[in-house]
Amino acid sequence: MSGGPLLDVRGLAAGYGAVRVLRSFDLVADAGTVVGLLGPNGAGKTTLMLTLAGLLPRLRGEVLVGGRLLPSGRPAAANRAGIVLVPDDRSLFSTLSVRDNLAVASRRGGHTLDEVLDLFPALASRLDLPAGALSGGEQQMLAVGRALVQKPRVLLIDEMSMGLAPVVVEGLLPVVRRIADETGAVVVLVEQHVQLALEVSDRAVVLVHGDVVRSGPAAELAADRGALEAAYLGAGKASALS
């Protein structure tokens, strides 16, 4: 094992064919770190997640997990290296039960069913329901549970709160913190509720039009609402900060 960072992203360029979204993105994160990835719609957050997960090829740059270079555009290799994505559509098998959604994803060494239920007790009484019958918040719990049974070293959560009320998000985000603390995973968290995200993040990165316009300790960014609002205002999203 190298003593270096668990996740090391260097000079990453990403996009879609001729459409370049990220030009040169860098991120270094040690085990157990939660990185809040913030920014307005179209900033490139999902593009970054998909590229880290190998679902989009890199146009340039390197991604290392535990010091090992990942091949570009190879989702199975990224997953084997420990990168697990919770996509913004949650990608559950809606006709399969909660139990089976977890079973088909599980990997030796990942969280067990009991450990998932310990983190998300609300799922315990839902195990035999089809995933499609769950509430939005329960589906998000299941989506994160499905990631945990895959033994993530780098957990990418895109839009934790898609379609969820803030009160539900407030319940889910501390679990993200616990996952990083207890498993040592790096968590990269995309979250619309900026202040809530900053509360559970160690560091935050603000992307605008594919460029990092601000990064630093989450507490510093949380205290500097003016700078955050300015970044979002460019895209007319200051209201997301409330």
Ligand X SMILES: Nc1ncnc2c1ncn2[C@@H]1O[C@H](COP(=O)(O)OP(=O)(O)OP(=O)(O)O)[C@@H](O)[C@H]1O
Binding site for ligand X (CB under 6 A): 16, 19, 21, 39, 41-47
What values do phi and psi take at 202, rounded to 5? Answer: -80, -45
Task: Report the C-alpha gap between 218 and 112 in whole angstroms.
Answer: 31
Lookup result for tokens 């769950």:
134
For residue 189, the Cα-to-chain-centroid distance in whole angstroms is 4
Single out the segment in contact with Mg ion by CB under 5 A; choices: 9-17, 20-28, 43-51, 193-201. Answer: 43-51
Q: Which residues of 170-179 are buried (b: 16+ CB within 10 A; e: fewer)?
A: eebbebbbeb
Q: How many CA atoms lie within 13 A of 222 on its CB side?
A: 15
Contacts of 177 (CB under 8 A, 6+ apart): 34, 200
**C-beta of 14 vs 142, nearer to ligand X:** 14
Q: Which does 193 bind (CB under 5 to 8 A by kind): Mg ion, ligand X, none?
A: none
**C-beta of 45 vs 193, nearer to Mg ion:** 45
| Contact flag: residue 183 with Mg ion (CB under 5 A) | no
Residues in the chain, how many? 242
**C-beta of 101 vs 161, nearer to ligand X:** 161
Contacts of 18 (CB under 8 A, 6+ apart): none
**C-beta of 200 vs 208, nearer to ligand X:** 208
| Contact flag: residue 161 with Mg ion (CB under 5 A) | no
The nearest distance, CB 43 to Mg ion, in angstroms, is 8
| Contact flag: residue 192 with Mg ion (CB under 5 A) | no
Task: Report the C-alpha gap between 198 and 188 in whole angstroms.
Answer: 12
Residue nearest to Mg ion (CB): 46
- Contact (Cβ atoms closer than 8 angstroms) between residue 187 and residue 168: no
Q: Which of 85, 73, 51, 84 is nearest to 158 (CA)?
A: 85
Q: Which does 1 bind (CB under 5 to 8 A by kind): ligand X, Mg ion, none?
A: none
Single out the segment in contact with Mg ion by CB under 5 A; choices: 41-49, 132-140, 166-174, 212-220. Answer: 41-49
Single out the segment in contact with Mg ion by CB under 5 A; choices: 7-15, 37-45, 125-133, 146-154. Answer: 37-45
Helix (H) or strand (E) holding 140, with range, is helix 136-148
**C-beta of 42 vs 234, nearer to ligand X:** 42
| Contact flag: residue 47 with Mg ion (CB under 5 A) | no
The nearest distance, CB 174 to Mg ion, in angstroms, is 23
| Contact flag: residue 46 with Mg ion (CB under 5 A) | yes
| Contact flag: residue 51 with Mg ion (CB under 5 A) | no
**C-beta of 14 vs 116, nearer to Mg ion:** 14
Residues that bind Mg ion (CB under 5 A): 45-46
